Amino acid sequence: MKGVIHTFTIILTALLVVGCSSRDFSDLDQFMNEKRARPGGIIAPIPTFKAYEAFAYSATRLRSPFDRPIEVREITQLQAISAIKPDETRAKEFLEQYTFDSLSMVGTIDRGNNSWALVRDPQGGIHRVQVGNYLGRNHGKIVELAETYLAVVEIVTDGTSDGWVERPRTIELSGL
């Protein structure tokens, strides 16, 4: 019985395929002839592009827009002081053995009326400092303490034998 049904299905499928096929492609030929009889279209030209102009960035020597600006009043006050000289008799503090750039501010502590900044040294030690403490190798004295930065004034040589100038610097809070 199963073989009969299978044979019947094959014969029925073959009859359907033969019955639906036709050798008449006249409708397709007519469609193609209509399309070929139409006039050809105009293809738009490829758009022209402007040549690349290289940009020369000329502000490389200017202050970064992300650094805290130094007020002109502060600079003129610092330059007006003529008797600038580091105190060589003062006892050195622990953070003065490190370069200024190797130190980083990692936080602040406020307790009562006292505020401290937390400074990390290159070995990973955390130190508590406040206004008046020294750090860095250039006699850097902390003059201002805020939540996001430490303002330091360093005393550096001006290139002459006995000439010194003050240089303002900041240590920004790490992770901002």
CB count within 10 Å of CB 107 equals 15
Residue 35: helix, strand or coil by DSSP? helix
Cα 164 to chain centroid, rounded: 36
Asked if pLDDT for residue 60 goes beyond 70, the answer is no
Tokens (6 digits) for 143: 């003059």
Give the pLDDT of residue 75.
Answer: 58
Residue 113: helix, strand or coil by DSSP? coil
Distances (CA, A) of 60 to 64, 68, 71, 158, 169: 8, 17, 20, 24, 19
Asked if pLDDT for residue 76 goes beyond 90, the answer is no
Topology adopted by domain 74-172: SH3 type barrels. (2.30.30)
User: Is 0.75 surpassed by the pTM of this model?
Assistant: no
Mean pLDDT of 55-63: 71
Q: Write the DSSP symbol of residue 85.
A: -
Mean pLDDT of 139-146: 94
Residue 116: helix, strand or coil by DSSP? strand
Return mean pLDDT, the chain: 84
Lowest mean pLDDT among 17-26, 76-85, 139-148, 150-159: 76-85
CB count within 10 Å of CB 88 equals 7
Lowest mean pLDDT among 152-156, 163-167, 169-173: 163-167
- Contact status, residue 123 vs residue 131, Cβ threshold 8 Å: no
Give the pLDDT of residue 21.
Answer: 63
Buried b (16+ CB within 10 A) or exposed e, 130-168: eeebbbbebbbbbeebeeebbbbbbbbeeeeeeebebeb
| Residue pLDDT, tens place only, 7-21 | 888 888 877 776 666
